[in-house]
Structures are given as C-alpha cells and as structure tokens.
Structure 1
C-alpha cells in the first residue's frame, strides 16, 4: 500500500475536518439508548477515508470529533474520539481496493466497502469505545457496551446508505474531473 500525503490529502483533511465538525449537530437520535444517533458525519468520514486513505481518515476522525465535541458540547469525550480515528484508519487501509478515485466503484467494490465499514464499526464502537469508557471514565460496562452496539448499528446503517451513495456518485462524476492539479 502506497502511503502518499500530498496537496490533495492536505486539502481533503482540512475540508473534511471542517465538514465533520459542521455535521456534529446533524443527527437523528436512535431513541432507545442515550447518546446514540444516526450521524451523517460518519458517512462523510467513511467516504474521505475510502478515497484518500488511512492518514486522512484517521486525522479527520480524530480532529473532527474532538473539535466538534469541544465546540458543541464544551468538552471532549476522548473515549468516543479515538474510535472515530480508528474507524477512519481501518476504512482507509483499503482505499486503493475500492477504486473510487479511478471511477471503478462497482458492485464488487461496494460490497468490499460495506464489509470493511461494518468490521471497522464493530472494532471502533463495540470494542474500542466501550473499553476506553471503562478505562478512562470508569463508566459501567453494561451501559457503554449497549451504547457502543447502538452507535455501531447507527453508523453501519448511515454509511451503508449515505456513504455508499456519496462514494458511488463521486466515482461516477467527481473522480474524473478533479480540479486539483500540479502546476508546471
């Protein structure tokens, strides 16, 4: 896997982080477990990681979540910030295989993208977040594992629908007409 971090990745990181922060308050509560919701920012993170790779995914997940928490909630809940970074890294590890930049995001790549996002969500929200909640904040295990499972489910749904649609649309249209190019 080639780990390139050029001007496109810098721009994607900056714009992606700003959009992630802006989308912090856009959510549909799941209603059963407190502090869990369908969040479009999860689809944005999955898309950015799938297009630009693990470094962009990790940075956008970490900075976007931390800044969003600080701005909108007054404090940062680190046990939920780090899982977004983990998620972005895991999805980004397979960026080349999704072929989104090449305009080849077809059935096989869509299935791979969704299998990877499900596994990454399970790792981030069913393992990392609850364990960090217990270790950092001494939260009760039954509460945080329930929250993690519902957050995972919400993310899988929103990414499976919105994330897939964004990636497919970009692959068909945006990947072929990038406005960023190297000057002579």
Structure 2
C-alpha cells in the first residue's frame, strides 16, 4: 500500500454543518479527528479549519467525494505524491462544483498532453477561446472564488494560480 498525506482545507462552513463535516471526514479517513475550528473572517458566522491526514494513495479523492455531498461547503484537499502516484489538489465551491488537477513536487498545476490538445481543438484559430480553455483547464474560476477564503489559513502550502494573459 502506498501511504501518503495531505491537508483538508475547510475554507467556509456554517456552524450547523461543522459536525457533519467532522463525521464525513472521520468516516472517509477511518479515524477520530480533533478539528480546531476558527472563525472565517471573510464571511460572518462561518468557520474554517485545516485537517492534516495520512492514508493510502487516493484518500484525497475519497474525502472530496464524501464532502462533495454536503451543501454550502467551500473546501480543498491536497495529496502528496508517492513513488507511483502523482500529487493532486481537489477544489470545491457550491457554485462551481468539484475540480481536480495533478500537481508537481513544487505544487504547480500540471496540464497533460490531452488537456493541451483539447484546448487547441476547441479554440481553433481563436486566441481568446484558447485562453478560456487554458483558464478552465487550470481551474482559475475555482481559484478566484476560493482565494478570499484562504486568508484564514496558513497558506504556506497553498498554490495560487497565476492569471496569465
């Protein structure tokens, strides 16, 4: 079994939903958690937390799939790579849904050959459309919505997507 680790960033959740987030994470991680909640300063009456985890490769997907079922929850889940798996980041907002991308060792988002081919195919000869396709492939909409909420966390391990143009 490839054991890895990561962080669950619960960026914004109501007080009523906090126990459900805890139960969901405990069930997905198969362990009891002591989550240290703190107020989310950008949205009055909401909370945030960082939850480090260790487990088998693929745990980030398992946790994200479980959290996805909860309503009105903004979160990210990271997973470090192993000798045989890639690192990844999953981002979720209620308005955009779930986004998954692989990352390199430095936390940079990695676009595959298929991402790039698809962008060129959809864009044709339209440079603006090509930009839109790369923006979509890099999850810029998720990043833009989550960025204001990240301020409540220790951001040393969060990668901010640059907006190129």
The TM-score range, normalised by the shorter chain, is: 0.3 to 0.5
Higher-strand-fraction structure:
2
With normalisation by structure 1, the TM-score equals 0.30
Greater RCO (CA < 8 Å, at least 6 residues apart) = 1
